[in-house]
Amino acid sequence: MSYNLTEEQKMFRDMVRRLTREKIAPRAAAIDHDGIFPEDIHKLLCENNLMGTSFPEEYGGTGAEFMTFCIECEELATACLNSAMIPAIQELGSTPIILAGSHEQKQKYLPRLASGEWLASFCLTEPGAGSDVASMRSRAVLNDDVYILNGTKCFITEADKAEVFTVFAKTDQEKGARGISAFIVEKNHPGFKIGKIEEKMGTKAIAACEVIFDDCRVPKENLLGQEGQGLKLAFQTLDRTRPLVGACALGVVQGSLDYAIKYAKNRVQFGNPIATYQAIQFKLANVAIEVEAARQLVYHAAAQIDEMDHINGWGDKKLRLETSKLGAMAKCFATDVAMRGTIEMAQVLGGYGYMKEYPLERNIRDVRLMQIVEGTNEIQRMVVAEALLA
């Protein structure tokens, strides 16, 4: 399987790279400092058709390959992970609708999501059900033509700004994991409210929220797929979006490497630029090697998803398992590389790497999240091991 970039993808990458350098990089430090959702960056992404890159064309997206969308988020993250997360979370929250939504549901929601007019959020994690998703306590009971939804979700990214939520809850307590169903919930549905907004170490402009459903009334037609298919849909979504997390992490560490290289060429100690010293050269080389290895794995996983879409291979259990394995590998390896590499690049700056005036301090705080979201890296290793032993 080839995952060399096409000329069209290279042109797209260069466009996003130029936009990032000119418009987003100058805002990155202020976005982090203020800790407020950057409405101007969201508007910029909408104006450049970057909110629905991989959405189907028939519903207002550009219909690009998933690989292309990974490139987009990677480039945005080189300057500002907060900004990259805006389209990335849009993809996560919308994917269940793309995968399992009826034609009517897609017509109603996807055009506004593809344009960025509406934001979407993905509601899976609960206080007592993080890695152990099947133990969720949220429940939905059908009452005539509405589901009555009760429960609390936590760490829900961008929930304070979203209009549309893909929510997972148990419709049959006796069936355990097989009793989980998925729903499309709108923020104006009665009984929906945003609770606590967490204070985080990094990505401070993109909120992690508590979402509370208190006898929330969800129309029956907002059930996604069939009852009992929710957990399968959640896992299918994560299998598709985990390489995207790896791509975002790649962007952060690539930005850190680029900055450290420039710094090392200009920083003079003992009469020479520190770039002339082998200790610094080896740091740069080691990180560059790991970044390139991680990029190839992320792109391979993205190409696998595109190939599965092309051949309609999601019904093949063996192919699906291989795709899940590659996505977990890509997310795990790339985010671990990004964490190690960003810390190492901060070391190149010495004391300045610890100062908020320089981007490395921010990058360390931001990229830490990538090892946790969409399944911790310990869970990714379990997914890989399960595939190996299947």
User: Do 184 and 256 fall into the same domain?
Assistant: no
Mean pLDDT, range 50-59, rounded to an integer: 96
- Supply the CATH number for residue 68's domain: 1.10.540.10
Q: With pLDDT > 70 as the criterion, what percentage of the chain qualifies?
A: 99
User: Do 250 and 189 fall into the same domain?
Assistant: no
166-187, pLDDT tens digit by residue?
A: 999 999 988 988 999 999 999 9
Instruction: Give me 176's structure tokens.
Output: 């355990």
286-296, pLDDT tens digit by residue?
A: 999 999 999 99
User: Do 210 and 264 fall into the same domain?
Assistant: no
- Within-domain flag for 337: yes
Integer Cα distance of 219 and 235 in angstroms: 24
- Within-domain flag for 2: no
Q: What is the pLDDT of residue 2?
A: 43
pLDDT higher than threshold 90 for residue 158:
yes
Burial of 186 by CB count in 10 Å (0-12 exposed, 13-18 middle, 19+ buried)? middle
Of 82, 99, 115, the residue that ends a domain is: 115
User: Do 237 and 370 fall into the same domain?
Assistant: yes
Of 56, 90, 115, the residue that ends a domain is: 115
Beta bridge partners of 166: 122, 184
User: Do 184 and 125 fall into the same domain?
Assistant: yes
Give the chain's mean pLDDT: 96
User: Do 326 and 218 fall into the same domain?
Assistant: no
User: Do 84 and 149 fall into the same domain?
Assistant: no
- Within-domain flag for 1: no
pLDDT higher than threshold 50 for residue 1:
no
**CA nearest 3: which of 204, 205, 247, 218?**
247
Number of domains in the chain: 3
- The reported pTM is 0.95
Of 224, 246, 280, the residue that ends a domain is: 224
Provide the pLDDT confidence category of residue 132 given band limits of 50, 70 and 90: confident
Active site residues: 374
User: Do 127 and 78 fall into the same domain?
Assistant: no
- Parent domain of 146: 120-224
Asked if 41 and 25 touch (Cβ cutoff 8 Å), the reply is no
- Supply the CATH number for residue 153's domain: 2.40.110.10
User: Do 68 and 197 fall into the same domain?
Assistant: no
Asked if 140 and 171 touch (Cβ cutoff 8 Å), the reply is yes
- Within-domain flag for 252: yes
- Supply the CATH number for residue 345's domain: 1.20.140.10
Q: State the SS3 of the chain.
A: CCCCCCHHHHHHHHHHHHHHHHHHHHHHHHHHHHCCCCHHHHHHHHHCCCCCCCCCHHHCCCCCCHHHHHHHHHHHHCCCHHHHHHHHHHHHHHHHHHHHCCHHHHHHHHHHHHHCCCCEEEECCECCECCCHHHCCCEEEEECCEEEEEEEEEEEECCCCCCEEEEEEECCHHHHHHHEEEEEEECCCCCEEEEEECCCCCCCCCCEEEEEEEEEEEEHHHEECCCCCHHHHHHHHHHHHHHHHHHHHHHHHHHHHHHHHHHHHHCEECCEEHHHCHHHHHHHHHHHHHHHHHHHHHHHHHHHHHHHHHHCHHHCHHHHHHHHHHHHHHHHHHHHHHHHHHHHHHHHCHHHHHCCCCHHHHHHHHHHHHHCCCCCHHHHHHHHHHHHHC
Q: What is the pLDDT of residue 11?
A: 96
User: Do 299 and 385 fall into the same domain?
Assistant: yes
- Within-domain flag for 331: yes
User: Do 181 and 240 fall into the same domain?
Assistant: no
18-48, pLDDT tens digit by residue?
A: 999 999 999 999 999 999 999 999 999 999 9
73-109, pLDDT tens digit by residue?
A: 999 999 999 999 999 999 999 999 999 999 999 999 9
Angstrom CA distances, 322 to 18, 67, 381, stand at 35, 17, 14
User: Do 342 and 361 fall into the same domain?
Assistant: yes
Asked if 259 and 343 touch (Cβ cutoff 8 Å), the reply is no
Integer Cα distance of 264 and 192 in angstroms: 52
